[in-house]
Amino acid sequence: MPIPLPNLDDRTYADLVEDAIAQIPIEAPEWTDHNPSDTGIILIELLAWLTEMVLYRVNQIPELNQAQFLSLLKGQPWVWPTDIPTAAQAALVQREIQKTLAELRRPYRAVTNPDFAQLILTDWGQTRYAQREFGEAGAIARVNCLPKRDLENADIHQPVEAHLSLVILPRYPQSDASEKQRLHHDLKRFLDQRRLITTRLHVIEPEFVDVTLSAVLYLQDSANPPAVQAQAERQITAFFAPLNSQEFWQGQGYPFGADIYLSELYQLLDDLPGVDHVEDLQLSGFDPSRQHFNAQNQLIGVAIQDHELVNIQIASLSTLQRFGDQWQTNP
Protein backbone atom coordinates (compact mmCIF):
# COMPACT_ATOMS: atom_id res chain seq x y z
CA MET A 1 0.00 0.00 0.00
CA PRO A 2 1.62 3.33 -1.04
CA ILE A 3 2.22 6.00 1.58
CA PRO A 4 -0.38 8.79 1.18
CA LEU A 5 1.22 12.01 -0.02
CA PRO A 6 0.79 15.00 2.30
CA ASN A 7 -1.07 18.09 1.12
CA LEU A 8 1.65 20.73 0.85
CA ASP A 9 -0.75 23.41 -0.41
CA ASP A 10 -2.59 23.83 2.90
CA ARG A 11 -1.99 27.59 3.44
CA THR A 12 -4.32 30.10 1.80
CA TYR A 13 -3.57 33.71 0.90
CA ALA A 14 -5.63 34.92 3.88
CA ASP A 15 -3.74 32.60 6.27
CA LEU A 16 -0.37 33.89 5.08
CA VAL A 17 -1.40 37.55 5.42
CA GLU A 18 -2.88 36.99 8.88
CA ASP A 19 0.22 35.17 10.13
CA ALA A 20 2.56 37.85 8.79
CA ILE A 21 0.59 40.72 10.37
CA ALA A 22 0.53 38.84 13.68
CA GLN A 23 4.34 38.86 13.69
CA ILE A 24 4.61 42.64 13.30
CA PRO A 25 4.26 43.50 17.05
CA ILE A 26 6.98 40.97 17.83
CA GLU A 27 9.45 41.84 15.08
CA ALA A 28 8.76 45.58 14.74
CA PRO A 29 6.84 47.04 17.73
CA GLU A 30 7.22 50.58 16.34
CA TRP A 31 5.14 49.62 13.29
CA THR A 32 1.65 50.50 14.39
CA ASP A 33 -0.19 51.25 11.16
CA HIS A 34 -1.69 47.94 9.92
CA ASN A 35 -4.22 49.39 7.50
CA PRO A 36 -4.41 48.05 3.92
CA SER A 37 -3.17 51.41 2.65
CA ASP A 38 0.14 51.05 4.54
CA THR A 39 3.10 50.37 2.28
CA GLY A 40 4.34 47.54 4.50
CA ILE A 41 0.93 45.84 4.46
CA ILE A 42 0.90 46.12 0.66
CA LEU A 43 4.27 44.36 0.53
CA ILE A 44 3.00 41.64 2.89
CA GLU A 45 -0.02 41.04 0.66
CA LEU A 46 2.21 40.93 -2.44
CA LEU A 47 4.57 38.41 -0.85
CA ALA A 48 1.62 36.32 0.39
CA TRP A 49 0.28 36.21 -3.15
CA LEU A 50 3.66 35.04 -4.48
CA THR A 51 3.99 32.50 -1.66
CA GLU A 52 0.57 31.04 -2.40
CA MET A 53 1.60 30.50 -6.03
CA VAL A 54 4.84 28.78 -4.98
CA LEU A 55 2.98 26.51 -2.55
CA TYR A 56 0.59 25.51 -5.28
CA ARG A 57 3.51 24.56 -7.51
CA VAL A 58 5.23 22.66 -4.69
CA ASN A 59 2.11 20.56 -4.22
CA GLN A 60 2.20 19.54 -7.89
CA ILE A 61 4.74 16.94 -9.06
CA PRO A 62 5.10 17.25 -12.83
CA GLU A 63 5.72 14.22 -14.97
CA LEU A 64 9.26 15.31 -15.78
CA ASN A 65 10.07 15.54 -12.06
CA GLN A 66 8.76 12.03 -11.42
CA ALA A 67 10.85 10.69 -14.29
CA GLN A 68 13.95 12.45 -12.93
CA PHE A 69 13.34 11.15 -9.39
CA LEU A 70 12.92 7.60 -10.69
CA SER A 71 16.11 7.92 -12.71
CA LEU A 72 18.01 9.01 -9.59
CA LEU A 73 16.59 6.16 -7.51
CA LYS A 74 17.22 3.53 -10.19
CA GLY A 75 20.67 4.78 -11.08
CA GLN A 76 19.82 4.72 -14.77
CA PRO A 77 17.70 6.90 -17.09
CA TRP A 78 13.96 6.33 -16.96
CA VAL A 79 11.70 7.99 -19.53
CA TRP A 80 8.07 8.90 -18.97
CA PRO A 81 5.86 6.68 -21.20
CA THR A 82 4.05 8.79 -23.77
CA ASP A 83 2.91 6.13 -26.21
CA ILE A 84 0.11 4.81 -23.99
CA PRO A 85 -3.18 6.34 -22.74
CA THR A 86 -3.04 8.80 -19.85
CA ALA A 87 -4.82 6.48 -17.39
CA ALA A 88 -2.42 3.68 -18.24
CA GLN A 89 0.53 6.04 -17.80
CA ALA A 90 -0.47 6.85 -14.23
CA ALA A 91 -0.91 3.17 -13.35
CA LEU A 92 2.43 2.26 -14.94
CA VAL A 93 4.27 5.02 -13.09
CA GLN A 94 2.77 3.99 -9.74
CA ARG A 95 3.84 0.38 -10.32
CA GLU A 96 7.31 1.53 -11.24
CA ILE A 97 7.55 3.69 -8.11
CA GLN A 98 6.42 0.83 -5.86
CA LYS A 99 8.85 -1.57 -7.53
CA THR A 100 11.76 0.86 -7.18
CA LEU A 101 11.03 1.60 -3.51
CA ALA A 102 10.72 -2.12 -2.75
CA GLU A 103 14.12 -2.74 -4.32
CA LEU A 104 15.67 0.11 -2.36
CA ARG A 105 14.27 -1.22 0.92
CA ARG A 106 15.52 -4.72 0.21
CA PRO A 107 18.58 -5.43 2.41
CA TYR A 108 21.82 -5.81 0.51
CA ARG A 109 24.66 -5.25 2.94
CA ALA A 110 25.26 -7.72 5.76
CA VAL A 111 26.65 -6.44 9.05
CA THR A 112 24.89 -8.26 11.88
CA ASN A 113 24.15 -11.97 12.28
CA PRO A 114 20.48 -11.55 11.28
CA ASP A 115 21.63 -9.74 8.12
CA PHE A 116 23.69 -12.72 6.98
CA ALA A 117 20.93 -15.17 7.90
CA GLN A 118 18.30 -13.21 5.96
CA LEU A 119 20.50 -12.91 2.86
CA ILE A 120 21.24 -16.65 2.86
CA LEU A 121 17.71 -17.84 3.60
CA THR A 122 15.93 -15.51 1.16
CA ASP A 123 18.11 -13.71 -1.39
CA TRP A 124 20.58 -16.50 -2.14
CA GLY A 125 17.93 -19.02 -3.16
CA GLN A 126 16.24 -16.44 -5.38
CA THR A 127 19.32 -15.56 -7.41
CA ARG A 128 19.30 -16.79 -10.97
CA TYR A 129 22.74 -18.29 -10.51
CA ALA A 130 21.72 -20.43 -7.53
CA GLN A 131 18.56 -21.58 -9.27
CA ARG A 132 20.42 -22.43 -12.45
CA GLU A 133 23.47 -24.11 -10.90
CA PHE A 134 21.99 -25.86 -7.88
CA GLY A 135 18.21 -25.85 -8.23
CA GLU A 136 16.48 -27.17 -5.12
CA ALA A 137 19.82 -28.44 -3.80
CA GLY A 138 20.92 -24.84 -3.32
CA ALA A 139 18.06 -23.93 -0.97
CA ILE A 140 19.30 -23.27 2.57
CA ALA A 141 16.85 -24.18 5.33
CA ARG A 142 18.75 -23.02 8.43
CA VAL A 143 21.71 -20.80 9.28
CA ASN A 144 23.66 -20.37 12.48
CA CYS A 145 26.02 -17.37 12.54
CA LEU A 146 28.98 -17.67 14.89
CA PRO A 147 31.00 -14.44 15.27
CA LYS A 148 34.72 -14.54 16.06
CA ARG A 149 34.92 -18.15 14.90
CA ASP A 150 36.98 -19.75 12.16
CA LEU A 151 35.56 -23.25 12.02
CA GLU A 152 37.38 -24.06 8.78
CA ASN A 153 40.89 -23.72 10.18
CA ALA A 154 41.29 -22.58 13.79
CA ASP A 155 40.44 -24.23 17.08
CA ILE A 156 36.66 -24.15 17.54
CA HIS A 157 37.08 -22.78 21.06
CA GLN A 158 39.53 -20.03 20.10
CA PRO A 159 37.97 -16.61 19.32
CA VAL A 160 39.33 -15.00 16.16
CA GLU A 161 38.67 -11.31 15.61
CA ALA A 162 36.94 -10.21 12.38
CA HIS A 163 36.02 -13.79 11.43
CA LEU A 164 32.49 -15.13 11.05
CA SER A 165 31.52 -18.75 10.58
CA LEU A 166 28.21 -19.53 8.90
CA VAL A 167 26.85 -22.98 9.64
CA ILE A 168 24.34 -23.77 6.90
CA LEU A 169 21.91 -26.65 6.67
CA PRO A 170 20.67 -27.23 3.09
CA ARG A 171 17.06 -28.22 2.74
CA TYR A 172 18.12 -31.11 0.53
CA PRO A 173 21.61 -32.22 1.68
CA GLN A 174 23.96 -33.40 -1.03
CA SER A 175 26.04 -36.55 -0.68
CA ASP A 176 28.61 -35.52 -3.29
CA ALA A 177 31.59 -33.85 -1.59
CA SER A 178 32.55 -31.80 -4.66
CA GLU A 179 29.01 -30.40 -4.95
CA LYS A 180 29.04 -29.45 -1.27
CA GLN A 181 32.35 -27.67 -1.71
CA ARG A 182 31.09 -25.81 -4.78
CA LEU A 183 27.94 -24.72 -2.93
CA HIS A 184 30.01 -23.38 -0.03
CA HIS A 185 32.39 -21.58 -2.39
CA ASP A 186 29.64 -19.94 -4.43
CA LEU A 187 27.65 -18.94 -1.36
CA LYS A 188 30.74 -17.33 0.12
CA ARG A 189 31.33 -15.47 -3.15
CA PHE A 190 27.71 -14.25 -3.05
CA LEU A 191 28.24 -12.90 0.48
CA ASP A 192 31.67 -11.40 -0.29
CA GLN A 193 29.93 -8.65 -2.27
CA ARG A 194 27.74 -7.79 0.71
CA ARG A 195 29.97 -8.16 3.76
CA LEU A 196 32.08 -5.49 5.44
CA ILE A 197 35.53 -5.30 3.91
CA THR A 198 37.18 -6.38 7.18
CA THR A 199 34.98 -9.44 7.77
CA ARG A 200 36.35 -12.89 6.92
CA LEU A 201 33.69 -15.47 6.14
CA HIS A 202 33.73 -19.23 6.59
CA VAL A 203 30.91 -21.45 5.32
CA ILE A 204 30.51 -24.96 6.69
CA GLU A 205 27.77 -27.50 7.29
CA PRO A 206 26.93 -28.72 10.80
CA GLU A 207 28.61 -31.70 12.36
CA PHE A 208 26.27 -34.35 13.74
CA VAL A 209 26.89 -35.90 17.14
CA ASP A 210 25.85 -39.54 17.29
CA VAL A 211 23.82 -40.32 20.39
CA THR A 212 22.19 -43.65 21.20
CA LEU A 213 19.14 -43.73 23.46
CA SER A 214 17.55 -46.52 25.43
CA ALA A 215 14.80 -46.45 28.06
CA VAL A 216 12.23 -48.55 29.84
CA LEU A 217 8.61 -47.41 29.59
CA TYR A 218 6.18 -48.45 32.31
CA LEU A 219 2.72 -48.45 30.76
CA GLN A 220 -0.74 -47.90 32.11
CA ASP A 221 -3.08 -50.88 32.30
CA SER A 222 -5.16 -49.84 29.28
CA ALA A 223 -2.19 -48.94 27.05
CA ASN A 224 -1.41 -50.64 23.77
CA PRO A 225 2.34 -51.49 24.00
CA PRO A 226 3.15 -51.50 20.24
CA ALA A 227 1.29 -48.23 19.69
CA VAL A 228 2.99 -46.53 22.65
CA GLN A 229 6.40 -47.73 21.54
CA ALA A 230 5.86 -46.51 17.99
CA GLN A 231 4.67 -43.12 19.26
CA ALA A 232 7.69 -42.84 21.55
CA GLU A 233 10.05 -43.48 18.63
CA ARG A 234 8.28 -40.87 16.51
CA GLN A 235 8.46 -38.27 19.30
CA ILE A 236 12.15 -38.83 19.92
CA THR A 237 12.93 -38.70 16.21
CA ALA A 238 10.92 -35.48 15.78
CA PHE A 239 12.49 -33.91 18.89
CA PHE A 240 16.01 -34.27 17.48
CA ALA A 241 15.12 -33.76 13.79
CA PRO A 242 17.37 -31.13 12.15
CA LEU A 243 14.41 -30.05 9.98
CA ASN A 244 10.64 -30.32 10.22
CA SER A 245 10.57 -31.13 13.93
CA GLN A 246 6.76 -31.05 13.97
CA GLU A 247 5.46 -29.70 17.28
CA PHE A 248 8.95 -29.23 18.72
CA TRP A 249 11.04 -26.07 18.29
CA GLN A 250 8.30 -24.39 16.21
CA GLY A 251 8.94 -27.00 13.54
CA GLN A 252 12.33 -25.44 12.72
CA GLY A 253 14.47 -28.34 13.92
CA TYR A 254 16.62 -29.08 16.94
CA PRO A 255 18.55 -25.92 17.90
CA PHE A 256 22.20 -25.61 17.00
CA GLY A 257 24.39 -26.22 20.02
CA ALA A 258 21.53 -27.15 22.37
CA ASP A 259 22.74 -29.51 25.10
CA ILE A 260 20.80 -32.71 25.67
CA TYR A 261 19.36 -33.10 29.16
CA LEU A 262 18.04 -36.35 30.54
CA SER A 263 15.31 -34.48 32.40
CA GLU A 264 13.84 -33.20 29.09
CA LEU A 265 13.81 -36.69 27.63
CA TYR A 266 12.22 -38.14 30.77
CA GLN A 267 9.48 -35.52 30.51
CA LEU A 268 9.07 -36.11 26.76
CA LEU A 269 8.47 -39.85 27.23
CA ASP A 270 6.55 -39.55 30.47
CA ASP A 271 3.98 -37.22 28.83
CA LEU A 272 3.07 -39.76 26.17
CA PRO A 273 -0.47 -41.18 26.37
CA GLY A 274 -0.41 -44.61 27.96
CA VAL A 275 2.92 -44.13 29.79
CA ASP A 276 2.81 -44.38 33.58
CA HIS A 277 6.46 -43.49 34.16
CA VAL A 278 9.94 -43.92 32.65
CA GLU A 279 13.04 -45.47 34.15
CA ASP A 280 16.61 -46.36 33.17
CA LEU A 281 16.90 -43.77 30.41
CA GLN A 282 20.44 -43.93 29.09
CA LEU A 283 22.46 -42.05 26.47
CA SER A 284 25.58 -43.52 24.93
CA GLY A 285 27.70 -43.59 21.78
CA PHE A 286 29.33 -40.17 22.22
CA ASP A 287 32.69 -38.91 23.43
CA PRO A 288 32.90 -39.12 27.26
CA SER A 289 34.26 -35.55 27.35
CA ARG A 290 30.76 -34.34 26.43
CA GLN A 291 29.17 -35.66 29.62
CA HIS A 292 27.49 -33.27 32.08
CA PHE A 293 27.45 -34.36 35.74
CA ASN A 294 25.68 -32.92 38.77
CA ALA A 295 27.09 -32.47 42.25
CA GLN A 296 26.38 -36.13 43.03
CA ASN A 297 28.46 -37.17 39.99
CA GLN A 298 25.38 -38.35 38.12
CA LEU A 299 25.07 -37.93 34.36
CA ILE A 300 22.52 -35.23 33.59
CA GLY A 301 23.21 -34.39 29.97
CA VAL A 302 25.40 -34.27 26.87
CA ALA A 303 27.25 -31.16 25.67
CA ILE A 304 26.67 -30.04 22.07
CA GLN A 305 28.82 -27.37 20.39
CA ASP A 306 27.38 -24.33 18.58
CA HIS A 307 28.11 -25.78 15.14
CA GLU A 308 26.66 -29.22 15.91
CA LEU A 309 23.32 -31.00 15.71
CA VAL A 310 22.26 -34.42 16.98
CA ASN A 311 21.93 -37.70 15.12
CA ILE A 312 19.77 -39.79 17.44
CA GLN A 313 19.72 -43.57 17.32
CA ILE A 314 17.17 -45.55 19.35
CA ALA A 315 18.76 -48.72 20.70
CA SER A 316 15.77 -49.99 22.65
CA LEU A 317 12.50 -48.81 24.15
CA SER A 318 11.38 -51.63 26.38
CA THR A 319 7.82 -51.62 27.67
CA LEU A 320 6.57 -53.08 30.94
CA GLN A 321 2.98 -53.45 31.97
CA ARG A 322 1.44 -54.39 35.29
CA PHE A 323 0.02 -57.88 35.56
CA GLY A 324 -1.33 -58.33 39.05
CA ASP A 325 1.20 -56.90 41.47
CA GLN A 326 4.20 -57.18 39.16
CA TRP A 327 5.58 -55.33 36.17
CA GLN A 328 6.23 -57.71 33.33
CA THR A 329 7.81 -57.31 29.89
CA ASN A 330 5.37 -57.25 27.04
CA PRO A 331 5.78 -60.09 24.57
The stretch 160-172 carries a mean pLDDT of 91
Q: Helices then strands (H, E): number in the chain?
A: 10, 10
The stretch 302-327 carries a mean pLDDT of 89
For residues 307 and 256, is the Cβ–Cβ distance under 8 A? yes
Q: For residue 2, is pLDDT > 70?
A: no
Picking from 29-43, 138-152, 314-328, which range would have the lowest pLDDT averaged per residue?
A: 314-328
Packing angle, helices 63-74 and 86-105, rounded to 10: 30
Instruction: Tell me the residue type at 275.
Output: V
Burial of 5 (0-12, 13-18, 19+ CB in 10 A): exposed
Reported as a pLDDT band with limits 50, 70 and 90, residue 180 is: confident
For residues 59 and 19, is the Cβ–Cβ distance under 8 A? no
Q: For residue 1, is pLDDT > 60?
A: no
Please provide the average confidence, as pLDDT, over all residues in the chain. 87
Q: For residue 331, is pLDDT > 70?
A: no
- What does DSSP assign to residue 224? -
CA distance 319 to 230: 11
What integer pLDDT is reported at residue 67 of this predicted model?
82
What integer pLDDT is reported at residue 5 of this predicted model?
66
Which residue from 285, 288, 282 is spatially nearest to 310, judged by alpha carbons?
285
* Tens of pLDDT, residues 195-252: 999 999 999 999 999 999 999 999 988 889 899 999 999 999 999 999 999 999 999 9
- What does DSSP assign to residue 210? E
CA distance 191 to 187: 6
For residues 281 and 214, is the Cβ–Cβ distance under 8 A? yes
- What does DSSP assign to residue 48? H
* Tens of pLDDT, residues 40-99: 999 999 999 999 988 887 777 777 777 888 888 888 888 888 787 877 877 888 888 888
Which stretches of the chain are DSSP H helices? 13-27, 39-59, 63-74, 86-105, 113-118, 125-126, 128-133, 177-192, 225-239, 262-270
Query: How many beta carbons lie within 10 A of that of residue 60, not counting itself?
Result: 9
For residues 225 and 321, is the Cβ–Cβ distance under 8 A? yes
* Tens of pLDDT, residues 28-57: 999 999 998 999 999 999 999 999 988 887
Q: Concatenated DSSP letters for 136-170?
A: GGG-EEEEEEEET--TTTS-TTS--TTEEEEEEEE
